Structure 1
Amino acid sequence: MSKKVHIIGSGFSSLSAACYLAKAGYDVTIFEKNNGIGGRARQFKKEGFTFDMGPSWYWMPDVFESFFNDFNKQVADFYHVSKLDPAYRVYFGKENSISIGDTLEKIYNAFEKEEPGSSKKLTKFIASAKENYNIAIKNLVYRPGVSPLELITPETIIRIGQFFSTIAKDVKKEFKNERLIKILEFPVLFLGAKPSDTPSFYNFMNYADFGLGTWQPKGGMFSVIKGMSVLAESLGVKIRTNTDVDKIVVENGVCKGLLSQGEFIASDIVLSGADYHHTETLLDKKYRQYSEHYWAKKTFAPSSLLFYVGFDKKLKNIDHHNLFFDTDFDTHAREIYDHPKWPDKPLFYANFTSVTDPETAPKNCENGFFLIPIAPGIEDNATIREDYFNRIIERFEKITNQVVKNNIIFKESFCVNDFKQQYNSYKGNAYGMANTLLQTAFLRPKLKSKKVEGLFFTGQLTVPGPGVPPALISGKLVSGLIQKFLPIETKEPEMI
């Protein structure tokens, strides 16, 4: 008889784990509280416009390809991706921007134009980043975080100093141009921490950026979710939406199942891809591994104020991805991490998938996704949202030299309160727990519960960390632990 695995949540990590477990022979059902799959990577449609609600950057394409290869499939069997050129544009003010191209040669030329001699330094920097990327992918990120020994390899031993220096120190030691420094520090924001708090080893994110490039799935990031769900269902995974989980039932330290909408559902394994902190509140207090004090002292990645905007015309002077770094980077970072408050002059990000994928907006229209990173847990209300929308749209108009306010068909917002309500997100964080030195690998919350047999976790608050590629990897890691904990019995062939 198949072992029943019940998974809470339907984001990237949950779908990944579901596929691996179903392939191994488990009876897998996913329970999703919302009316659609994808978790933070859900899709929003309105008046002919299509938006990714959360993740919008497709980096590390090798991780996605590796995932589908594990099922004898390819990315192209489920969705189409194309490399963006430019990958993104960084604005520092009106008529003042740098475009990051789709090849290292183009990027070296852009750096050299900005700071003579910098291309040689960048060549050396990216070579180191590539080495670290290969070490991370081959030796580190596919390890389940159960022991500090996982980090000790011949390659990491000779790089031990990189775990005690920081990205910010390394970049500023080599580069003097503030604009180039901002561009090189930007990728580690995907790890959810300040460059000054992120170990040097994580410069592999710069190789993910410059070396591997920025890609875009046709139809948006939700195309990846749809592809994974098609794969999961082809393997026998059942997906139940509009199905909230109210309690994880435990008897004598052993997980027995779920209580959902008044129904008890017996389980051999419960795996949660939902917010880790929230999941533990579904347990009786004695079975929780981490106290409220534990969570309160951890460094969380930012939350976000998001706007989904439909424009009734094509916009000028924009690319697919656009970073607005026309205010002070370090000040905004301090307002997120050191002294949590609404930022006085926030940096922001905007993407327009309709620039490269016209089907995501009506003809001669543009879909705009705007994001302001903010501290988790701060006050959130309609008045604040409107104030900040006006602030960034005025800067957007000035920097891109166009008027767009009167061309807005609609705008919808999403912020701290929505992250809490729709995703049960701790303090309304958007990206999980930051990957600082003391929150890396075995120092992160565990994939396997220490107090409840048969209870496991996956996703951005556990191993390996925040981001979409790590979420895919997290699902694979936890599926391996489950298979070791409760292997599927194979029947011995009968002797003739």
Structure 2
Amino acid sequence: MPKPKAIVIGAGIAGIAAAIRLAVKGYEVEVFEANSYPGGKLSEITLGAYRFDAGPSLFTMPQYVDELFELAGKTKGLSYQNLDVVCKYFYEDGTKLSAYADEDRFAGEVAGLTGEDPANVKRYFKNSRNIYQITNHVFLERSLHRLKTFLRWDTLKSVFRFPQIDAFRTMHRANKGFFRDKRLIQFFDRYATYNGSNPYQAPATLNVIPHLEQYFGAYFPDGGMYSITTSLVKLGEKLGVKFNYTCVVDEIVLQKQEVKGIRVKGELQAADVVISNMDVYFTYSKLLKSHPELQPAKLLKQERSSSALIFYWGIKKSFQELDLHNVFFSGDYEAEFKAIWEKQGLYHDPTVYINISSKYKPDDAPMDCENWFVMINVPANKGQDWDELIAEARKNIIAKLSRILGEDVSSLITCESILDPRSIESKTSSYQGSLYGTSSNNQFAAFLRQANRSSKIKGLYFCGGSVHPGGGIPLALLSAKIVSDWM
């Protein structure tokens, strides 16, 4: 008896994970990727002697990667190391804070720098853990669109505890209730950016994110972030998954609202099921454009998450005060978010994130040099003059970093590449260049995301950051798990 055939559109991390899970289930699986390489946002670029992880740079909850190797019966998988310092933070008033992975050490660091009672920090993390325990099995690991989910006892317990997830206050308001020091409030407000949201609008439920980083830890893959992609592709290939690159999918072929396959280069590729790892907006507007009656109009009009402006810089110096992850805070966080979300522009004093993988993988840069992945949060692309915005942002970023580091950064840049919302959309099919699909700026956002299975088209499934449960590596991997469990 022939195996059932599954086609995955897009070799992003969720698409690769879905392919692995379906191959383990006994499906014949083919992946069709428009680019000449796998990974989507989780890819890499090289500039001369410098290598950069192109997209996601923070690795948390590695158990979801490990699980894929375990499902395939492999004893060896991805190798990675735990970070002692998750991130270093630099404030405009001169404060330098090391976010230690150890909770007690972090609380002590905060107390010494801000005078905040360590008990408040521990109380905050306890609240974060509590939100996770309530939401994890309901909102993250299962579909919100199946009756089966809500008939489970652990789901019912979570429903009764719903008021404890703090869905009706903003993150910022909740954080002000825990701390007095503005620097610490800004520290925890920043976690809204982990899914492209605004802490002054997003529900305090998102205060679950610190628990994912603090309790489960932060890690660095020994081969860099892109090794997550390459290791999973190799695993998929060993399981018989066929990856087709430079293959743009023209359409999803339907017959009476049932999937029959996809069309690529004018030819039908038949399948029993199709899993789209493409942004849900483009899945409907491009691949199903001949079926407007099946498109969820309200969903496609939802507010998109923020995007990013990234400078990849080869730096001809090594900075001892910097680590793998570094954040240089804006002096006025609220003004920065107003500029992004209300004015759809950039703030003159942006919060700057720098990732330097050569701190842990020295061959990513020449000796005594560093590879800087320099990122600021920006709005999704709605037709702004990005060339002008990029030039202004570059000037402001260099001035800020030079002032705080006491070094003329511009004179140290030996090579440069730039990624902006326009190129993010063109390279990864992310509508408007948004990094996480729709934003989470209201308390119902989790319920408004596209389900992992189409309710109108039989045999069509969705995975990736633009659908349930959300963006980022862990949630993208969970979307693949939900698809697999549903099938």
TM-score above 0.5, yes or no:
yes
Asked if the contact 2:29–2:242 (Cα under 8 Å) also holds between the matched residues in 1, the reply is yes
Structure 2 counterpart of 1:400, which letter? L
2:330 and 2:336 in contact (8 A); partners too: no
1:268 equivalent in alignment to 2:272: yes
- Is residue 2:430 matched to residue 1:425? yes
Q: What SS class does the counterpart of residue 197 from structure 1 fall into? A: coil
Confirm or deny: 8 A CA contact 1:15 1:228 kept in the other structure: yes
**C-alpha contact 1:287 1:452 (8 A) present in aligned 2:** no
In the aligned structure 2, how far is the partner of 1:123 from the partner of 1:134? Answer: 16
Q: Where do 1:17-96 residues align within 5 Å?
A: 17-73=18-74, 77-93=76-92, 95-96=94-95
Paired residues in the alignment total 478
Q: Tell me the secondary structure at the aligned position of residue 309 of structure 1.
A: strand
Q: Distance in 2 between matches of 1:94 and 1:396?
A: 14
Secondary structure of the structure 2 residue equivalent to 1:93: coil
Partner secondary structure for residue 90 of structure 2: strand
Counterpart contact for 1:5–1:27, Cα < 8 Å = yes
Q: State the match for 1:304 in structure 2.
A: 308
**1:233 and 2:237 correspond:** yes
User: How far 1:328 moved relative to its partner?
Assistant: 1.4
Following the alignment from structure 2 to structure 1, what is the Cα–Cα distance between the partners of residues 36 and 93? 42
The match for 1:224 is 228
Unpaired segments of 5 or more residues in structure 2? none
Any idea what SS the aligned residue of 2:35 has? coil
- Aligned equivalent of 1:120: 119
Matches of 1:64 and 1:169 in 2, distance apart?
A: 35
Instruction: Quote the offset at 1:68 in angstroms.
Output: 3.4
2:291 counterpart residue number: 285
The superposition leaves residues 109-135 of structure 1 with CA deviations (integer Å, 9 ceiling, x where unpaired) of 012113335211111111121232233
Question: For 1:331-346, what aligned pairs fall within 5 Å after superposition?
Answer: 331-346=335-350
Relative to structure 1, is the Cα distance of residues 156 and 19 closer, same or farther in structure 2, using a 3 angstrom cutoff? same
**Cα displacement (A) at 1:238:** 0.6
In 2, the alpha carbon distance for the partners of 1:356 and 1:185 equals 28
How far apart are 1:47 and its partner, in Å? Answer: 1.1
**Kept after mapping to 1: 8 A contact 2:128/2:208:** yes
Could you tell me which of 444, 451, 459 is aligned with 1:454?
459
Alpha-carbon contact 1:43-1:50 (below 8 Å) kept: yes
Q: Is the 8 A contact 2:89 2:327 kept in 1?
A: yes
User: Which residue pairs with 2:401 in the alignment?
Assistant: 396
CA contact (8 A) 1:220 1:353 kept: yes
Distance in structure 2 (CA, Å) of the matches to 1:138 and 1:417: 36
**CA–CA separation in structure 2 for the residues paired with 1:191 and 1:390:** 27
CA distance in 2, matches of 1:196, 1:73: 45
Instruction: Give the TM-score, by structure 2 length.
Output: 0.93
Q: Alpha-carbon deviations, 1:70-117, whole Å to 9, x = none? A: 33446xx23321122321111112743211112111111012113335
Query: RMSD in angstroms over aligned alpha carbons?
Result: 2.0
Contact 1:271 1:456 in 2 (8 A): yes
Q: How many Å apart are 1:439 and its aligned residue? A: 4.5
- Output the CA distance in 1 between the equivalents of 2:202 and 2:73: 36
Q: Within 2, Cα distance between the matches of 1:115 and 1:314?
A: 29
Contact 2:66 2:78 in 1 (8 A): no
SS at match of 1:155: helix
Distance 1:371 1:425, change over 3 A: same
1:279 Cα offset (Å) = 0.8
Say if 2:360 is the partner of 1:363.
Answer: no
SS in 1 for 2:249: coil
Cα separation, partners in 2 of 1:196 and 1:406, compared to 1, 3 Å? closer
Q: Report the Cα offset of residue 39 of structure 1.
A: 0.4
Unmatched runs of 5 consecutive residues or more in structure 1: 484-496
1:316, distance to aligned residue in structure 2 (A): 4.4
- C-alpha contact 1:316 1:400 (8 A) present in aligned 2: no
Residue identity opposite 2:393 in structure 1: Y
Q: Per-residue displacement from partner, 1:211-267 (whole Å, max 9, x unpaired)?
A: 232211122211111111111111111101111111111122122111112222112
User: Which runs of structure 2 are paired with 1:137-148 in the superposition (5 Å)?
Assistant: 137-147=136-146
- 1:352 Cα offset (Å): 0.8
TM-score of the superposed pair, with normalisation by structure 1: 0.91
The alignment status of 1:243 with 2:247, answered yes or no, reads yes
* Aligned-partner Cα distance in 1 for 2:147–2:169: 19
Does structure 2 conserve the Cα–Cα contact (< 8 Å) formed by 1:187 and 1:209? Answer: no
Is the partner of 2:416 in helix, strand or coil? strand
| 1:98 aligned partner, one-letter code | L
CA distance 1:181–1:149, shift in 2 (3 Å): farther
What code does the residue aligned with 1:357 have?
K
